[in-house]
Protein backbone atom coordinates (compact mmCIF):
# COMPACT_ATOMS: atom_id res chain seq x y z
CA UNK A 1 0.00 0.00 0.00
CA UNK A 2 1.26 3.45 -0.93
CA UNK A 3 1.60 5.81 1.93
CA UNK A 4 0.25 9.32 2.01
CA UNK A 5 3.79 10.72 1.96
CA UNK A 6 4.67 8.67 -1.12
CA UNK A 7 1.61 10.00 -3.01
CA UNK A 8 2.59 13.54 -2.09
CA UNK A 9 6.18 12.90 -3.12
CA UNK A 10 5.08 11.47 -6.49
CA UNK A 11 2.66 14.35 -7.09
CA UNK A 12 5.38 16.88 -6.29
CA UNK A 13 7.80 15.11 -8.61
CA UNK A 14 5.24 15.06 -11.44
CA UNK A 15 4.43 18.75 -11.02
CA UNK A 16 8.05 19.93 -10.79
CA UNK A 17 9.26 17.76 -13.64
CA UNK A 18 6.37 18.78 -15.94
CA UNK A 19 6.81 22.48 -15.24
CA UNK A 20 10.57 22.31 -15.57
CA UNK A 21 10.44 20.34 -18.81
CA UNK A 22 7.81 22.62 -20.37
CA UNK A 23 9.66 25.77 -19.39
CA UNK A 24 12.95 24.45 -20.69
CA UNK A 25 11.30 23.83 -24.04
CA UNK A 26 9.35 27.08 -24.18
CA UNK A 27 11.93 29.34 -22.63
CA UNK A 28 15.08 28.06 -24.22
CA UNK A 29 17.67 30.78 -24.36
CA UNK A 30 17.46 31.23 -28.12
CA UNK A 31 13.67 31.08 -28.30
CA UNK A 32 13.14 33.39 -25.37
CA UNK A 33 15.64 35.93 -26.64
CA UNK A 34 14.06 35.96 -30.09
CA UNK A 35 10.55 36.37 -28.69
CA UNK A 36 11.66 39.17 -26.36
CA UNK A 37 13.51 41.01 -29.11
CA UNK A 38 10.54 40.67 -31.47
CA UNK A 39 8.16 41.91 -28.79
CA UNK A 40 10.33 44.93 -27.98
CA UNK A 41 10.77 45.76 -31.68
CA UNK A 42 7.01 45.48 -32.27
CA UNK A 43 6.34 47.87 -29.39
CA UNK A 44 8.99 50.30 -30.64
CA UNK A 45 7.37 50.28 -34.09
CA UNK A 46 3.98 50.98 -32.52
CA UNK A 47 5.46 53.85 -30.54
CA UNK A 48 7.23 55.16 -33.64
CA UNK A 49 3.88 55.25 -35.48
CA UNK A 50 2.19 56.94 -32.53
CA UNK A 51 4.91 59.61 -32.36
CA UNK A 52 4.66 60.12 -36.13
CA UNK A 53 0.91 60.62 -35.77
CA UNK A 54 1.46 63.15 -32.97
CA UNK A 55 3.99 65.04 -35.10
CA UNK A 56 1.48 65.23 -37.97
CA UNK A 57 -1.25 66.44 -35.59
CA UNK A 58 1.00 69.11 -34.08
CA UNK A 59 2.14 70.25 -37.53
CA UNK A 60 -1.50 70.51 -38.65
CA UNK A 61 -2.37 72.68 -35.65
CA UNK A 62 0.71 74.84 -36.25
CA UNK A 63 -0.55 75.56 -39.78
CA UNK A 64 -3.96 76.50 -38.38
CA UNK A 65 -2.43 78.83 -35.79
CA UNK A 66 -0.17 80.46 -38.36
CA UNK A 67 -3.16 81.13 -40.60
CA UNK A 68 -5.12 82.49 -37.64
CA UNK A 69 -2.26 84.87 -36.84
CA UNK A 70 -2.94 86.83 -39.99
CA UNK A 71 -6.73 86.95 -39.77
CA UNK A 72 -8.88 89.77 -38.42
CA UNK A 73 -10.64 88.79 -35.20
CA UNK A 74 -13.37 90.68 -33.33
CA UNK A 75 -13.54 91.07 -29.54
CA UNK A 76 -15.50 87.85 -29.02
CA UNK A 77 -12.95 86.06 -31.22
CA UNK A 78 -10.11 87.41 -29.06
CA UNK A 79 -11.43 85.42 -26.11
CA UNK A 80 -11.37 82.29 -28.24
CA UNK A 81 -7.85 83.08 -29.46
CA UNK A 82 -6.74 83.47 -25.84
CA UNK A 83 -8.13 80.03 -24.98
CA UNK A 84 -6.54 78.51 -28.09
CA UNK A 85 -3.15 79.88 -27.02
CA UNK A 86 -3.54 78.38 -23.54
CA UNK A 87 -4.64 75.00 -24.85
CA UNK A 88 -1.81 74.87 -27.38
CA UNK A 89 0.77 75.65 -24.71
CA UNK A 90 -0.72 73.07 -22.33
CA UNK A 91 -0.70 70.45 -25.09
CA UNK A 92 2.92 71.26 -25.86
CA UNK A 93 3.90 70.84 -22.20
CA UNK A 94 2.09 67.51 -22.02
CA UNK A 95 3.80 66.17 -25.14
CA UNK A 96 7.18 67.40 -23.91
CA UNK A 97 6.66 65.38 -20.71
CA UNK A 98 5.78 62.37 -22.86
CA UNK A 99 9.01 62.92 -24.80
CA UNK A 100 11.04 63.13 -21.57
CA UNK A 101 9.48 59.91 -20.30
CA UNK A 102 10.34 58.15 -23.55
CA UNK A 103 13.94 59.27 -23.22
CA UNK A 104 14.06 57.97 -19.63
CA UNK A 105 12.42 54.62 -20.33
CA UNK A 106 13.46 53.60 -23.84
CA UNK A 107 16.80 52.08 -24.70
CA UNK A 108 19.36 54.70 -25.71
CA UNK A 109 18.99 55.80 -29.34
CA UNK A 110 15.96 53.59 -29.96
CA UNK A 111 13.86 56.39 -31.53
CA UNK A 112 16.24 59.37 -31.84
CA UNK A 113 14.85 60.94 -35.02
CA UNK A 114 11.21 60.55 -34.00
CA UNK A 115 11.76 62.10 -30.58
CA UNK A 116 13.86 64.96 -31.94
CA UNK A 117 11.27 65.59 -34.70
CA UNK A 118 8.56 65.72 -32.04
CA UNK A 119 10.55 68.37 -30.17
CA UNK A 120 11.00 70.38 -33.38
CA UNK A 121 7.25 70.26 -34.02
CA UNK A 122 6.56 71.30 -30.44
CA UNK A 123 8.98 74.20 -30.83
CA UNK A 124 6.95 75.25 -33.89
CA UNK A 125 3.74 74.95 -31.87
CA UNK A 126 5.15 77.12 -29.10
CA UNK A 127 6.34 79.67 -31.65
CA UNK A 128 2.92 79.74 -33.32
CA UNK A 129 1.24 80.30 -29.92
CA UNK A 130 3.73 83.10 -29.19
CA UNK A 131 2.99 84.66 -32.57
CA UNK A 132 -0.73 84.60 -31.83
CA UNK A 133 -0.16 86.21 -28.47
CA UNK A 134 2.10 88.88 -29.95
CA UNK A 135 -0.28 89.60 -32.81
CA UNK A 136 -3.48 89.86 -30.81
CA UNK A 137 -2.41 90.80 -27.28
CA UNK A 138 1.18 92.09 -26.99
CA UNK A 139 1.21 94.25 -30.15
CA UNK A 140 -2.37 94.49 -31.43
CA UNK A 141 -2.02 98.10 -32.62
CA UNK A 142 1.41 97.84 -34.22
CA UNK A 143 0.99 99.61 -37.59
CA UNK A 144 3.49 97.45 -39.46
CA UNK A 145 1.99 94.25 -38.05
CA UNK A 146 -1.52 95.50 -38.87
CA UNK A 147 -0.50 96.25 -42.46
CA UNK A 148 0.98 92.81 -42.96
CA UNK A 149 -2.07 91.27 -41.31
CA UNK A 150 -4.44 93.14 -43.63
CA UNK A 151 -2.51 92.00 -46.72
CA UNK A 152 -2.40 88.39 -45.61
CA UNK A 153 -6.02 88.45 -44.51
CA UNK A 154 -6.97 89.58 -48.01
CA UNK A 155 -5.04 86.65 -49.47
CA UNK A 156 -6.87 84.16 -47.23
CA UNK A 157 -10.25 85.52 -48.36
CA UNK A 158 -9.46 84.65 -51.99
82-101 pLDDT, tens digit per residue, is 999 999 999 999 999 999 99
User: Which pTM value belongs to this model?
Assistant: 0.73
Q: What is d(CA 138, CA 142) in angstroms, rounded to the nearest whole number? A: 9
Residue segments in the chain with a per-residue pLDDT below the cut of 70: 1, 27-30, 142-158
* Residue 35: C-alpha distances to residues 22, 25, 45, 53, 129 (Å): 16, 13, 15, 27, 45
Amino acid sequence: MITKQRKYLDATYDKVSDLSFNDKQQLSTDGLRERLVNHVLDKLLELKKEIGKKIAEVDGVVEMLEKLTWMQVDDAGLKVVNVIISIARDWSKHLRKFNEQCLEILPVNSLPSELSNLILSLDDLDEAADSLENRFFAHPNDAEMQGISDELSALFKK
